[in-house]
Structure 1
Amino acid sequence: MFDYDSAAIAAILGTSLDAVFTIDAQGLIVDTNPAATRMFGWQREEFLGANISLIVPSPLKEKHDGFLRAFRPDRGVKHVLGSGQRLDGLRKDGSRFPVEVGISAFERDGQRYFTGFVRDMSERQHAEDRMRYLALHDAESGLLNYRGFAEQCAAAAGGERRMAVFRIEEFRRFSVAYGERWSIATVQEIAARLGTALAPHEIAGRVREDSFALWLGDDAGTRIETLAAVLREPYALDTTVFLLTVTFGLSAPGGDFASLLRTAQWACYRAGAAGRGGINAFAEGLQQSVVRELGIESRLREAVRDNLLTLVLQPKCRLADRRIVGAEALVRWSDPLLGAVPPAEFIPLAERLGLVGKITDWMLQRSLAEIAACPDPTISVAVNFSALDFYHPDLVVRLCDSLDKAAVPPDRLVVELTESAAVHDVPLVNGRLQALRALGVGISLDDFGTGHTALAYLRQFAVDSLKIDIAFVRDLPDSSPALGVTRTIVALARGLGLETIAEGVETEAQAATLRELGVDVGQGFLFGRPLPPAEFHRRVREQMESARL
């Protein structure tokens, strides 16, 4: 055994977790410690006299002796490899593993020797690899996240490339309704489908909660059709099957990663109602509308935060005698920089930004406060709820809290829900409707007649009234199809014991036709534009005074 100067040093090396080798100037091993045997699998007797390259894989194995010969202490070089060098080690069974190596030189009895300290870095390397994986991948789906997607796209740059972005339209409201388990299962299913459908040169990433990006080749137009068909197949969780609306945006050709992603996102998110569920290619002129929309997004956050929205009340009148029997609460926003922004423009943005819940809560509180101040205690107020609001599990609690704070009886509040939102998940929606009805709140199904499946489910819904969509009212009395649809809706409502409300009434001819068809209530400019609450209360007082005469 090589004679150490100190038995204490030998004892320390014997218990070290690092492998320690002592080699001569020719690279032959003259001593090792027990950790070397545990780490590399060779017995001490096999090590002694063998070249240290025994534990070094190619191509470094063939160069190792050259490092020792190149060692020149006269030039002040004290270390062959210094310390902390990350290399690969070679076990007896031929497996490779990461090690950290430090080799230094010393002289004894006129002979040069080298001491190598080798640390097994397998666990640390695994931890580092795991940390890097987590830094570059989405934790829920396993797809690349934005950073990882950008890195891989940069590495794969070359040739004609286009970007596609797709989003799941129902993702937010279904995540609210069914919770994290549904969202994780859905994004994992999306990832699995992409994993089997993508070509080797194509890359996928999850770049936002509800949207994903695809890095495609010059055949993007054809490929996106194929991928769209795969992603639109039904999804299932337990025994429930979901049909999800997948909207695609295809970038402009050419440009760097940032511009490709940006134009794909613009095409996807600014597609509008006509492009919902379709494949939308970026078009010139879209950028101008995007700039306005981005300005609206920024200002809308401030408006919601600083309570800069305005409430107006539109009268709802009984067609038989034109008496005001209720009001619909509507939100308005006039911005100092943007001017008046229509609800049809900022409400969809509020849904995407996650602000619609705050707007609905504000609307509910203000509406109930105003109806509490209304001089006629029989008048009710209708408040529109988005699908995202309605699917929220705290809906009933929020309503109860608002009613208690305003000290308003539940029967003076009407919750309006669009037909399209109602038919998407009938069991869940009906459960909410039953809870609201038990509370005493009125329920109105808005935009009725525009959906394709409402008639099949209407018997199940616990609703009190149907609002005939403006699209049919607008064409009265001259359109035979509009007359036929309205007549059918009225007959259906009567058979179910429901009230009918026509919105968008603007002419006396429309009002007369609706009254003849048996519609109960009308709403529109003929009966009054949306009014400030004080003006609405004034009209109600005048109506009450007129009734006393």
Structure 2
Amino acid sequence: MEASRELPVVSILLVDDRPENLCALEASLEPLGQRLVCVSSGDDALRAVLDEDFAVILIDVKMPGLDGFETIELLRERERSRHIPIIFLSGYSDDDHVLCSYSAGAVDYLLKPFNSDALRSKVSVFVHLRQNELALKAAHVDLERRVEERTAELVASNKALEREIIERKTAEQRLFEQAHHDGLTGLPNRALLMAHLDRAVAQWRRRAARGFAVMMIDLDRFKSVNDSLGHLAGDQLLTSFARRLESCLREVDTAARLGGDEFAVLLDGITDLRDATRLAERIQHALVRSFSVDGKELFASASIGIVVMNDSYRRGDELLRDADTALYRAKEAGRARYQVFDLDMHATVVAQLALEADLSRAIERDELVLHYQPIIELERGAIVGFEALVRWDHPMHGLVLPTTLVPIAEETGMIRQLGQWVFASACKQLGAWGQPDLEMSVNLSAQQLAQTDLCSELERATREAGIDPGQLKLEITESAMMACLTTAKQTLSRIRDLGIAISLDDFGTGYSSLSYLHEFPVAELKVDRSFVQRIGSSEERPEILRAIVSLAHNLGIQVTAEGVETVAHLERVRQLECEHAQGYYFARPLEAAAARDLIVTGLPR
């Protein structure tokens, strides 16, 4: 029953010229629950089938006008009605009449008066057939609709998938570009350069490729651009330099930005060193032209280190390391030039690495020592203090001086440990001497000045040594102060508040800026020994010395002359009214015991 309710309602055509017969038919078939269409003639029947599809037609044989046989003949001629089942209704029971009905195309022949149940049973067969036919067609239509919808969904899904694949590939490419290219200049970054470099090394070692070289390039004095014009201007300069660098290269070469103002170039397919040096010369020549940065005309130079591939290299980072060493040598030689890496540099690098490794254990092995050079008050000729100078008593290399020791400590990150040891040892020694009128000067590097806990370290060192903070003086160079200008003023002010004096070391060799002499809490200015050494020679510039001393005195700053080695030096710095002096004329840096004896005996007259 549930299934029949789901089947569609169909139409049944009843044809009879007598109304009472139509009423009887309707009464008999009404229980089937289908649509019953009643007409009274053959003509009406023919018109009815033009407007509607019928599951079955019940037609009277004898009717005025078109009788049943004529009507069925016309129905069978039409495509629309040819296949509709037709049941004849007749009061004639002779066999000829029945046979003629079947021959005409009727599917059944019922005699009047008919049995209602029998009629319904016969008609219901054709109703069900038509209902199933329509249901099947509807199922086909629904299936086709669903197939079309699903196909459309699949097409849409495929298109969406294609878009997603494209978007994902685009995103992956974008991520690859971001991961392997510099965001500022668009050049390959270190990771991509190393991939190219390692591949080049592997191909070269298989003898599957020609020779190649690696360049390290560093813009000279780039920091001054950032400090004076700002980081945006610095970024513009880096971008402009990157474009100019690319213009110097061949298609097979790879330029990369490693970070900051440091660039690298992989020169592929070269035949000899001259190919690399020619490119270096092209780059130097390209930098002759100025850069337009933030509406200003800037000139820039570059230092370049070059290394050529040979059998000693196994990895790309080894080449990059040696190119960086050559770059460092180019900077040492005066900048704006190139330097080719050689075996002597390699030996120096190996020795440097060994020193770096040894330094990490120098403190625990008690290999560090302090020597003390006296500082003399010129008016009285008396010792007023000492400068503590760190030495490394290396078991193989002997005494390693600060000019070598401090850069290694800064490079390896050990400057903090070294500084802590120097502070503690110098203050402890001053306390041991028991001379409250003596001062101890200790050198401070740029990295130490940038330490957030520097004041705490100094306070602890003086407290544990039992000395007055006013006995401690920190010497800092102009370049170290300018390297961390943003924090230097605050840090130095806090140091001064502790009672510790600030001495500006090597004045005249760096920026020699009047503004920071006025702005920073500087108590003493130390004239660089290079000025003192020229005294009495043709290169002496007395007006410069006078200007420096006069400037300091006008600002209420005392002056100490470094590098006093002769009587002429001493006389001249006295004439200039320097308050203090130090140098070999008075004493070389002394061990602690010798310095103590000098304190007791005083300087020889």
- TM normalised by structure 2 equals 0.59
Map of 1:150 onto structure 2? 194
1:318 aligns with 2:377: yes
Q: 1:214 aligns to what SS in structure 2?
A: strand
Matches within 5 A, 1:241-252: 248-252=303-307
1:502 aligns with 2:557: no
Q: 1:286 aligns with which of 329, 345, 349?
A: 345
Shift of 1:142: 8.4
One-letter code aligned to 1:248: S
Matches within 5 A, 1:352-363: 352-363=411-422
Q: 1:530 aligns to what SS in structure 2?
A: coil
Q: Could you tell me how far apart the structure 2 residues matched to 1:135 and 1:268 are?
A: 26
Q: 2:510 aligns with which of 440, 451, 475?
A: 451
Whether the aligned pair in 2 keeps the contact of 1:167 and 1:210 (CA below 8 Å) is yes
Q: Cα distance 1:452–1:267, how it changes in 2: closer, same or farther (>3 A)?
A: same
Map of 2:143 onto structure 1? none
Q: 2:548 aligns with which of 467, 483, 489?
A: 489
Q: Could you tell me how far apart the structure 1 residues matched to 2:364 and 2:336 are?
A: 32
Shift of 1:268: 1.6
Q: 1:383 aligns to what SS in structure 2?
A: strand
User: Alpha carbon RMSD of aligned pairs, Å?
Assistant: 4.5
Whether the aligned pair in 2 keeps the contact of 1:500 and 1:520 (CA below 8 Å) is yes
Q: Could you tell me how far apart the structure 2 residues matched to 1:224 and 1:427 are?
A: 34
Whether the aligned pair in 2 keeps the contact of 1:160 and 1:254 (CA below 8 Å) is yes
Q: Could you tell me how far apart the structure 1 residues matched to 2:299 and 2:410 are?
A: 17
Q: Could you tell me how far apart the structure 1 residues matched to 2:223 and 2:555 are?
A: 33
Matches within 5 A, 1:299-448: 299-304=358-363, 306-423=365-482, 428-448=487-507
| Residues 83-118 of structure 1: CA deviation (Å, up to 9, x unaligned) | xxxxxxxx34793766xxxxxxxxxxxxxxxxxxxx
Matches within 5 A, 1:508-523: 508-523=567-582
Map of 1:71 onto structure 2? none
Q: Cα distance 1:531–1:399, how it changes in 2: closer, same or farther (>3 A)?
A: same
Shift of 1:415: 1.0
Q: Cα distance 1:437–1:259, how it changes in 2: closer, same or farther (>3 A)?
A: closer
Q: Could you tell me how far apart the structure 2 residues matched to 1:203 and 1:231 are?
A: 24
| Residues 95-148 of structure 1: CA deviation (Å, up to 9, x unaligned) | 3766xxxxxxxxxxxxxxxxxxxxxx987x899879977876789998756543
Moved more, 382-391 or 203-212: 203-212
1:463 aligns with 2:522: yes
Shift of 1:226: 6.8
Q: 1:366 aligns to what SS in structure 2?
A: helix
| Residues 11-32 of structure 1: CA deviation (Å, up to 9, x unaligned) | xxxxxxxxxxxxxxxxxxxx99
Whether the aligned pair in 1 keeps the contact of 2:225 and 2:233 (CA below 8 Å) is no
Q: 2:396 aligns to what SS in structure 1?
A: coil
Higher helix residue share: 2
Moved more, 243-252 or 323-332: 243-252
Q: Could you tell me how far apart the structure 2 residues matched to 1:230 and 1:386 are?
A: 36
Moved more, 399-408 or 333-342: 399-408
Q: 1:311 aligns to what SS in structure 2?
A: strand
Q: Could you tell me how far apart the structure 2 residues matched to 1:367 and 1:139 are?
A: 48
Matches within 5 A, 1:204-219: 204-205=255-256, 211-216=262-267, 218=275
One-letter code aligned to 2:347: Q
Whether the aligned pair in 1 keeps the contact of 2:376 and 2:385 (CA below 8 Å) is yes
Q: Could you tell me how far apart the structure 2 residues matched to 1:304 and 1:205 are?
A: 40
One-letter code aligned to 1:249: I
Map of 1:164 onto structure 2? 215
1:203 aligns with 2:203: no
Map of 1:539 onto structure 2? 598
One-letter code aligned to 1:365: A
Q: Could you tell me how far apart the structure 2 residues matched to 1:145 and 1:335 are?
A: 40
Q: Which structure would you say has the larger Rg?
A: 2
Q: Could you tell me how far apart the structure 1 residues matched to 2:299 and 2:481 are?
A: 15
Shift of 1:270: 3.7
Q: 1:287 aligns to what SS in structure 2?
A: helix
Q: Cα distance 1:195–1:488, how it changes in 2: closer, same or farther (>3 A)?
A: closer
Shift of 1:531: 1.6
Q: Could you tell me how far apart the structure 1 residues matched to 2:263 and 2:240 are?
A: 13
One-letter code aligned to 1:152: H
Shift of 1:168: 7.4
Map of 1:41 onto structure 2? 156
Matches within 5 A, 1:3-152: 41=156, 91-92=158-159, 95=162, 146-152=190-196
Whether the aligned pair in 2 keeps the contact of 1:247 and 1:268 (CA below 8 Å) is no
Shift of 1:465: 1.1
One-letter code aligned to 1:153: L
Q: 1:358 aligns to what SS in structure 2?
A: helix
Moved more, 219-228 or 491-500: 219-228
Shift of 1:533: 2.1
Q: 1:513 aligns to what SS in structure 2?
A: helix
Whether the aligned pair in 1 keeps the contact of 2:187 and 2:242 (CA below 8 Å) is no
| Residues 461-514 of structure 1: CA deviation (Å, up to 9, x unaligned) | 321111111111112234463433222222222222211111112222322222
Whether the aligned pair in 2 keeps the contact of 1:173 and 1:387 (CA below 8 Å) is no
Q: 2:573 aligns to what SS in structure 1?
A: helix
Q: 1:389 aligns to what SS in structure 2?
A: helix
Q: Could you tell me how far apart the structure 1 residues matched to 2:343 and 2:180 are?
A: 33
Shift of 1:426: 5.1
Whether the aligned pair in 1 keeps the contact of 2:377 and 2:579 (CA below 8 Å) is yes
One-letter code aligned to 2:415: V
Q: Cα distance 1:216–1:363, how it changes in 2: closer, same or farther (>3 A)?
A: same
| Residues 382-421 of structure 1: CA deviation (Å, up to 9, x unaligned) | 1111122223343333323333333332211111111233
Shift of 1:35: 10
| Residues 324-359 of structure 1: CA deviation (Å, up to 9, x unaligned) | 101101110121123322321232222222222221
Q: Could you tell me how far apart the structure 2 residues matched to 1:395 and 1:173 are?
A: 26
Whether the aligned pair in 2 keeps the contact of 1:166 and 1:246 (CA below 8 Å) is no
Whether the aligned pair in 2 keeps the contact of 1:172 and 1:388 (CA below 8 Å) is no
Q: Cα distance 1:407–1:277, how it changes in 2: closer, same or farther (>3 A)?
A: farther
Moved more, 195-204 or 345-354: 195-204
Q: 1:519 aligns to what SS in structure 2?
A: coil
Unpaired runs of 5+ residues, structure 1, are 1-30, 43-90, 99-120, 236-240
Q: Cα distance 1:161–1:275, how it changes in 2: closer, same or farther (>3 A)?
A: farther
Q: Cα distance 1:335–1:228, how it changes in 2: closer, same or farther (>3 A)?
A: farther
Shift of 1:208: 7.7
Q: Could you tell me how far apart the structure 2 residues matched to 1:525 and 1:151 are?
A: 55
Whether the aligned pair in 2 keeps the contact of 1:142 and 1:191 (CA below 8 Å) is no
Whether the aligned pair in 2 keeps the contact of 1:331 and 1:363 (CA below 8 Å) is yes
Q: 2:197 aligns to what SS in structure 1?
A: helix
Number of matched pairs: 433
One-letter code aligned to 2:547: T
One-letter code aligned to 1:251: I
Q: Kindly, what percent of the aligned residue pairs are identical?
A: 30
- Higher relative contact order (CA closer than 8 Å, sequence separation 6+): 1
Unpaired runs of 5+ residues, structure 2, are 1-145, 204-208, 269-274
